[in-house]
Structure 1
Amino acid sequence: MEKSLKELAEYLGGRVIGDESALVRGLGTLDDAGDGQITFLANPKYAQKVATTNAAAVILPPGADGHGRNVVEVANPYLAFAKLLTLFYVAPAKAYGVMDGAFVGKAVAMGDDVTVYPGAFVADGVRLGNRVTLYPGVVLYPGVILGDDVTLHANVSVRERCRIGNRVTIHNGTVVGCDGFGYAPDGKEWYKIPQIGIVMIEDDVEIGSNTVIDRAALEVTLIRRGTKIDNLVQIAHNCVIGENGMICSQVGISGSTKVGSHVTMGGQVGVAGHIQIGDNVMVGAKSGVPGNIPANQIISGIPAIPHREWLKASGIFPRLPEYRKTLGALEKRVAELEKMLASNTNEK
C-alpha cells in the first residue's frame, strides 16, 4: 500500500506541513524509520529525535517543532499512529466457511461470511452473526449467541446460553461463563450452589488470553460496551463492569461488585465482593480495594487510599528501621528521666 501525506492527513483529520505529495509505504519508530515510512511523537521528552529521524514524515501535535521535516499535525499522535497501523497492516479477514474437521450441531443459525476452523465445536442451538471467526479449539456450548464481527481465538470456551455482542475479540484460552465460585456450608462440607445465570458481553469489548469471567448465580454477569480486559484476569459471578473500562493483567474482582464506566485498574489489583466503584476511578497496581469507592478518585495501596496519601505513606516505609531505632532511644531516655524525677521526689 502507498498513500500520500495528503491522503493520510484527510484520513486522520489532520493537516500537512510540508510536501503533501510525499508518499508513505509503511510505519516505523523515531529511531528506526527510514525512507517511505512515517513515524510519530507522543512523548515530549523524545522531541529531539524528530531532528535526527530518517522517516519521510512525522506525526506531531499542534505547535511541536518539525525541524523542517514533513509533518502530519493531529491532536492525538498516538491514536493517529494506531489508526495508520490498522490502515497499512491489518487486512480484512477472509471467510472460509465451515472447514473440514469442525463440528457444527443441530439448529445452528449462521450469518454471512463465517469461518469455523478445524477442531472448533459449535453445539446445538448456537447463533452466529455475520463475519464470525472461530479458530481451532473454540468450544461454544448450547444456546450461545454471538453478534457480528466476533473473533474467538484458539481454545476459547463460551459456556451455555452466554451472549456476546458485535465486534468482540477474545484471545486464546479465555473462558466465558464457567460456574461462579458459590458454595453453601453444610456442616464440615460445602454444598455447591448451582450457577444458572449467564455472562453477557456487549459490543466492542476485547478480552486477553487466559482470562475467566464467571456466569451469574441467577441473573447476568455483565461486561458493558467498549471495555478492554487484559490477560489473566478473574471476574467473578454477578459482577457488572461499566463502559470503556481498562482492566490490566492479574486483576481479581470478587462476586457481585459493580464497577462504573471508564474505570482503570492496574495490574494485580484485588477487589472485594459486593462493593461499588464509581465512574472514572483509577486504581494503582497491586492495590487492595476493600470497600466502596466514590467516582472520580485515584487510589493506591493495601488497603487502597487516595493516591497522594499512599505516596506519602510509601515514602516512609524505607525509613521505618531508622524510626524504630530512634523511638527505642527515646523510650530509653524517657525511662531514665522518669527514674531521675522519681528519685528527686523521694529525696524531698
Structure 2
Amino acid sequence: MELTVSQVAKFISGKLEGDGSAPVYGVAKIEDAHEGEVTFISNPKYAKFIDSSSASAIIVGMDFPATDKTIIRTENPYVAFLRVLRYFHPQKEMLEEGIHSSAVIDPSVFVGDDTRIGAGVVIGKNSVIGKNCRIFPNVVIGEDVQVGDNTLIYANVTLREQVHIGRNVIIHSGTIIGSDGFGFAREGDIYHKIPQVGIVIVEDDVEIGANCTIDRATLGQTIIRKGVKLDNLIQVAHNVDIGENTVIAAQSGIAGSTKLGKNGIVGGQVGIVGHIEIGDYVTIAAQSGVSKPLASKTVVFGYPARPIMQAKREEAALRKLPDLLKRISELEDKIRRMEKE
C-alpha cells in the first residue's frame, strides 16, 4: 500500500505544511522513522527528535512550533496517527472459516453467522456465541455463557458458567473470567468456603489484557462496564463494579465489593481495598494504596493514597529527614558543650 503525504493529510483531515508529493509506505516511531514513513509527536518530550528525523511527514498538534520539516497539523496527533497505523497494518484474519474439527461444542450451543472457532475449543451447554466472533484455540467456555457479536477471544481464555460478555469485546490469552471469589466464613480456626453463586457481566467495547482474573460475585454481579480497558495481570474481586471508560494498568488489584466510577485512570501496581466507592474521573497514580473512599475528580498518590500535591510535599520532606536528624544531633551536642562551659 502506498499513499502520498497529501493523501495522508486528507485521510486524517489534517493541515499539511511542506512537501505533499512524497510517497508514504508505512509508519514508525519518531526515533526510528525513515524516508517513506509517517510518524507523530503528541508528547512534547519527543520534540527533540524532529531535527534528526528522516520521516516523510510528522503528525503534530495544532500549536506545534513552525519547522522546516514536512508536518501535518491535527487536533489529536495520537488518534490521527492511529488511523494511519490501521491503514498500513489492517487486522489480518488468523482463523480459518467455520468450526475446527477438534472443537467440542455441546449440541445445545448457538453459534452466530461468520463466527470462527479454533482447535481444541470447548463450549458447554446452552451457551450463545454471537455472530462474527473469533474464538482461538483451547478456549474453554462453560455452560449458559453469552458472548456478544464481534468479540475476539484469544487462546487459552476461560469463561466459566453464566458469564455474560458483550459486543466488540477483546479478551487476551490466559485470562479467566468467572472464577470463584475469595469468600470464606471463619469458625474458630476453620475457614468454611462461601458458595460463589453470582455472575460476571462484561459490557460492550471492553478490552481485557492477558492473564487477568475476574471473579464471579458471591451474590449478584461483578460488572465491567462499557468501554473499560484492563491491562495485563489485573485482579478484579467478587462484586466489584468498574465504571464506564475506566482504564487500569498492569498488576493492579481491586478487592471485593468496591465500586469505581466512570472515566477513571488507575496506574500500575495499585491496590484498592474492598467495600469502598471511588468517584468519577479519579486518577490514582502508580503503586498507590487506596484504603478509603475517593471523591470525584480526585488525583491521588502514595500509601496511603492522598492528594498528589500533598503526597509529593510529604515525600520531599521525608527525603530531608536524615539531614535534619543529623543537624538536630549536632545542635544537641553543641548545647551540651555550652552547658558545660
User: Do the two structures share a fold, i.e. TM-score over 0.5?
Assistant: yes
CA distance in 2, matches of 1:266, 1:315: 21
Task: Name whichever of 323-332 and 256-265 sits farther off.
Answer: 323-332
CA distance in 1, matches of 2:266, 2:9: 34
Aligned residue pairs total: 339
Larger Cα-atom Rg: 1
How far did residue 8 of structure 1 move?
A: 2.7
User: What does residue range 148-187 of structure 1 map to in structure 2 within 5 Å?
Assistant: 148-187=149-188
CA distance in 2, matches of 1:214, 1:62: 45
Secondary structure in 2 matching 1:294:
coil
Identity %: 39
Query: What is residue 261 of structure 1 aligned with on the other side?
Result: 262
How far did residue 103 of structure 1 move?
A: 1.2
How far did residue 191 of structure 1 move?
A: 1.1
Q: Which amino acid aligns with 1:245?
A: T
Secondary structure in 2 matching 1:209:
coil
How big is each residue's C-alpha offset from its partner over 1:264-312, in whole Å with a ceiling of 9 and x where there is no partner?
1111111111001111111111111111100111101111111011111
How big is each residue's C-alpha offset from its partner over 1:5-36, in whole Å with a ceiling of 9 and x where there is no partner?
34333332323233444432210122322232
Contact 2:210/2:232 (<8 A) preserved: yes
Q: Which amino acid aligns with 2:24?
A: V
CA distance in 2, matches of 1:324, 1:65: 48
Gaps of 5+ in 2: none
The 1:324–1:4 alpha-carbon spacing in structure 2 relative to 1, beyond 3 Å, is same
User: What does residue range 172-251 of structure 1 map to in structure 2 within 5 Å?
Assistant: 172-251=173-252
Q: Which amino acid aligns with 1:90?
A: P
How big is each residue's C-alpha offset from its partner over 1:89-122, in whole Å with a ceiling of 9 and x where there is no partner?
1325365210121111121111111111101111
The 1:330–1:233 alpha-carbon spacing in structure 2 relative to 1, beyond 3 Å, is same
Query: What is residue 18 of structure 1 aligned with on the other side?
Result: 18
CA distance in 1, matches of 2:96, 2:20: 37
Contact 2:30/2:53 (<8 A) preserved: yes
Gaps of 5+ in 1: 341-348
Secondary structure in 1 matching 2:245:
coil
Query: What is residue 86 of structure 2 aligned with on the other side?
Result: 86
User: What does residue range 1-348 of structure 1 map to in structure 2 within 5 Å?
Assistant: 1-65=1-65, 67-93=67-93, 96-328=97-329
CA distance in 2, matches of 1:48, 1:268: 31
> TM-score, with normalisation over the residues of structure 2?
0.93
CA distance in 2, matches of 1:163, 1:335: 74
CA distance in 2, matches of 1:207, 1:86: 20
Contact 1:200/1:221 (<8 A) preserved: yes
Q: Which amino acid aligns with 2:43?
A: N
Task: Name whichever of 34-43 and 66-75 sits farther off.
Answer: 66-75
CA distance in 2, matches of 1:49, 1:65: 14
Q: Which amino acid aligns with 2:144?
A: G
